[in-house]
Amino acid sequence: MLRLFAYVVILFGASCLGCAPTLAPMTTLDQDRARLSTILDRYPPIEQRITREFAAYLRSRLATAARFQRSTGRGSPEIIFVTASEPFALSVGSRYIIVSSQMVALLPIEAELAFVVAHEMAHQWLGHPALLDTDYRLHAGKQMERDADKTALGIMALAGYDPRAAQGALVQVYRLLSPSLADAQSHPELKERVGALDSALARSGWMPPGTLNRREYQRLRIALTELG
């Protein structure tokens, strides 16, 4: 399921990655694996110890907060880092979340990446259709993005991340991808999304501190840069 970062709307819409696997919502493990395989054929997974360990840590921390086992009955989604020159994050069914090396390069703070991944988890948790599905494009796509933002904010806070970093993540993404997001017509404007996050934070009564960054994330960013 293609979600938050609408650069992939154009990227995937043009090439289709074989077309069929990217258009239909995935409902079974075999379908999820087939779609994952199609994507990984184009974007090779980064199979380094540092990426595996960081992915496992982030998965455990966020998924525990999201209570995925209770909400979906399928366990938490696996996070996979891939090599790509484009910044994107996407979910495949309800079992996998893919994050590109360029997305990590775009986000200087770990809590910003946590929001990106939590947003994908939120889409899965809430049962939203894929971004390229007709149901998403024609029916309440913007509302789904708002709902995923709000849910991701709660996941971040429960996981011990500073949820204020969510705004920074959106600013970084929109600054780079605003033409694609505008063309997609499925995502609210940046000002609206940041304002909604401000309101949600104010109502929540959340107080700092929370994790913004750790040395492990900076090591991850350096390692991915060295891999090219």
pLDDT in tens, the chain (228 residues): 334 333 332 222 222 222 223 334 445 778 888 889 999 999 999 999 999 999 999 999 998 887 754 555 556 899 999 999 999 999 888 789 999 999 999 999 999 999 999 999 998 888 877 654 444 455 567 888 899 999 999 999 999 999 999 999 999 999 887 655 555 566 788 999 999 999 999 998 888 789 999 999 999 999 999 886
Read out DSSP for 120-147? HHHHHHHTPPPTTSHHHHHSSHHHHHHH
Order of strands, sheet of 89-92, starting from the edge strand that comes earlier in the sequence: 78-82, 96-100, 89-92
Q: What is the pLDDT of residue 126?
A: 85
- Please report, for the chain, the start and end positions of each structural domain, with discontinuous segments joined by +: 7-227
Residue 162 identity? D
Q: What is the pLDDT of residue 3?
A: 43
Q: What is the pLDDT of residue 8?
A: 31
